[in-house]
Structure 1
Amino acid sequence: MKSFSLKCLCVSSLLLTNIQFVIMSQSHTEATNNIPHWDGAPASLADYPLRQNHTIIDPWRYLDRLGLYKILLNVTSSDATLGRANNTANILWGLPMQLGWQFSTGRLQDFTNETACGKNQTEVVRDNEWNCISPWSWWGSMNYFLSVVPFLGALEAGLFPHWPHGFTFLASLSQPEDYCTSVLECRQRYPVTMTNWEDFFLNLYDPNITEPQYLIRDCDDKTSNLSPREQIIITKMWVAHTRSVETGLALFDGTRLMFMSKPEQSFDLGWAHLIGYIAAANFVTDLNTTAILQMRYLPKRLLHSGDTPPLIPDLTWDENMVIYILRMAYNIDQKTGDSLIHEWQRLMCSPESRAKGRAMIPNLLNPFTTALNVIDLLWMSFTVC
């Protein structure tokens, strides 16, 4: 029975290989073009202003926050696993890709309508409205714990040992008490979140690591699609990512969501809930994978009152179905005490089943393929786990 399951896994691995071939057809430049103003973001700490021997970073400016991601990508590019393929294999690419999508779809704006922050998507001089992230944006506030806090975790882990200056992160002008702006403050207020990100970065640069393989293996390899080190790094990244989302949900669901339309609120909660599913599968958020899936599945605009998925006329079928599925999965888990996600997490019990889970995600909207994958996963739960 075990060999039958592994044969099925080989078939799915071939399918995933084909998907990856399509994904890898995008160049680095084409993929980063999906991140607005990527070339204009700071590429090093020296690109931020220096005052009184402190590097000044304003995380409420889109370019400043985007620069944190570019610097983290640059500083981890020499890692044996993350830095391969001209750093496009780096799993940190999922973070700036998400921020860029939030920016381009207007999800970083002031939803109280008290200011014009984030409402103008063109580069105008007036108040730098285009370059503004509002603390009254649910997405912008949630992303704070996926940008500033990871950067401070990297700082604490020693990734910038030769930088001679201190750091000052400017506080939000609204609700500053919701955010931490230094290693000390973040460690005091959100100790588990900070520890998780520091732990992720501490696992990089191990001099004993010699494994160059990444993701796809030959079917003769019956153990896993990820090398042992990849599993460690990706698991620790998702632990930190999930904790950041949980931290943000506890702070912002009652104070930020209310300013958006009901369909957008439902989508936002469904998207946050999705993290638990993709984290359990150790999904690989490299540059090209993230770019392709994001362009295909994520809605290109905010959802408005009256939008009813899967029948929103100006969104694609893929976008409609993703919105609908996220809402349905979230509602099921809300009504059943998270029974659906707990079952999924139970099925992600082995390297083989996690590989199957990763293969399922790009094909989720294909009902025939999804049904076969679910059957195979159930078989694995009895034979492999």
Structure 2
Amino acid sequence: MDRLRIFKILITESNKYFASFGKNNTGNVFWALTLLYGRLFKTDRFAEPPNSSRCAYESGISSCISINSGWGGISYYVVMMYFLAAIESEFLGSLPYEVELLSREEYRSNFCYSIEECRAAHPQAMDIVNRFYKYLLSRKIVSTTSGIPQYDTDEDTAIFKMWAAHQAAIDVAKPMFSDVSFYSSETERDFTMDFLLATEFFEAALYRPYFESSAEFLVGFPHRLLTDQDRNVLMSNFSRREKALITVAKLTTKINKSTGGLLLTIWKKLMTSKFARATGRFFIKRLLLIPIE
């Protein structure tokens, strides 16, 4: 089963809980993860490092996600923890059989392939992801619009739990795939770590993970792998939006590191009210639209 198919299952099974968040199921909170996966695939970030551009463009071949790719390893934990927790929590119904993913023995210690393995290795992360599904399962139908049931899903609560689950998976995977050997260059590795840290700021502001807002955000995701020539001066073939995202992510890491993590701590403390989070989301959008030459 490939990862995109897993996302399709999760979106299909959860659509009913997010019907009031957007027309034609565009308000599903899984869109952010699905569209990012597609962007990573299209920009060759799942290929064997150092970069081999052949693999990521051979459509329909799930094996083109290299076992040695840092982005591939991080993506694995995000997708599989959401999927296995959906099974464990019975969000996908009561299955009459156990689910275990196929593994390559030489890399088995790097990953978990079943509910039992993931729970034994990462119990806290699995608990956090389970809470997201248990919240959805606790929702009740309160009305019907054009024949479509409307659940009492609280927007901020659902998004908070969705991002918390995402971050739990990232926290598991990030230390495992931080070495430069998993990336095409040191600059690409640094961008990956910068982007993942910046994501924590977006999550704290409860950035809307819907289809349109996610697609708008990913316009700035770099269309190609970064090379070491991009370390000090970004090449001219990056768009303004791409330069803005790369620069903001890099600057965020630099400031957060220089303050001993205080920047993120203060930001999270500020994001405690609806008004503050709305202001934070507006600030993030404006920041990523700043034209950088």
The TM-score bracket by the shorter chain reads 0.7 to 0.9
The verdict on how the C-alpha distance between 1:82 and 1:90 changes in structure 2, with shifts beyond 3 A counting, is farther
Q: Of 214, 223, 226, which residue of structure 2 is paired with 1:300?
A: 223
Matches within 5 A, 1:125-164: 128=61, 131-161=63-93, 163-164=95-96
Partner residue of 1:88?
26
Partner residue of 2:166?
241
User: Is 2:46–2:56's contact at 8 Å kept on the other side of the alignment?
Assistant: no
* Structure exhibiting the larger radius of gyration computed from Cα positions: 1
Q: Does 1:339 align with 2:262?
A: yes
Q: How far apart are the structure 2 equivalents of 1:80 and 1:322?
A: 29
Partner residue of 1:364?
287
The verdict on how the C-alpha distance between 1:79 and 1:123 changes in structure 2, with shifts beyond 3 A counting, is closer
The TM-score, its normalising length taken from structure 1, stands at 0.68
Q: How far apart are the structure 1 equivalents of 2:54 and 2:95?
A: 32
Q: How far apart are the structure 1 equivalents of 2:21 and 2:106?
A: 38
The TM-score, its normalising length taken from structure 2, stands at 0.88
1:256 deviates by 4.4
Structure 1 gaps, min length 5: 1-56, 58-63, 213-226, 369-385
Structure 2 gaps, min length 5: 145-151
Partner residue of 1:319?
242
1:208 deviates by 3.6
Q: Of 215, 222, 229, which residue of structure 2 is paired with 1:291?
A: 215
User: Is 1:298–1:319's contact at 8 Å kept on the other side of the alignment?
Assistant: yes
Q: Does 1:188 align with 2:111?
A: no
1:108 deviates by 0.1
Counting aligned pairs with the same residue, the percent is 27
Q: Of 108, 114, 119, which residue of structure 1 is paired with 2:55?
A: 119
1:159 deviates by 1.8
Partner residue of 2:149?
none
User: Is 2:205–2:281's contact at 8 Å kept on the other side of the alignment?
Assistant: yes
Moved more, 350-359 or 310-319: 310-319
Partner residue of 1:97?
35
Q: How far apart are the structure 1 equivalents of 2:53 and 2:204?
A: 36
User: Is 1:156–1:183's contact at 8 Å kept on the other side of the alignment?
Assistant: yes
Which amino acid counterpart does residue 90 of structure 2 have in structure 1? G
Q: How far apart are the structure 2 equivalents of 1:174 and 1:311?
A: 38
Q: How far apart are the structure 2 equivalents of 1:353 and 1:83?
A: 21
Q: Calculate the aligned-residue CA RMSD, in Å.
A: 2.7
- CA shift digits 1:316-355 (9 cap, x unpaired): 1221121112111112212221122222212212111011
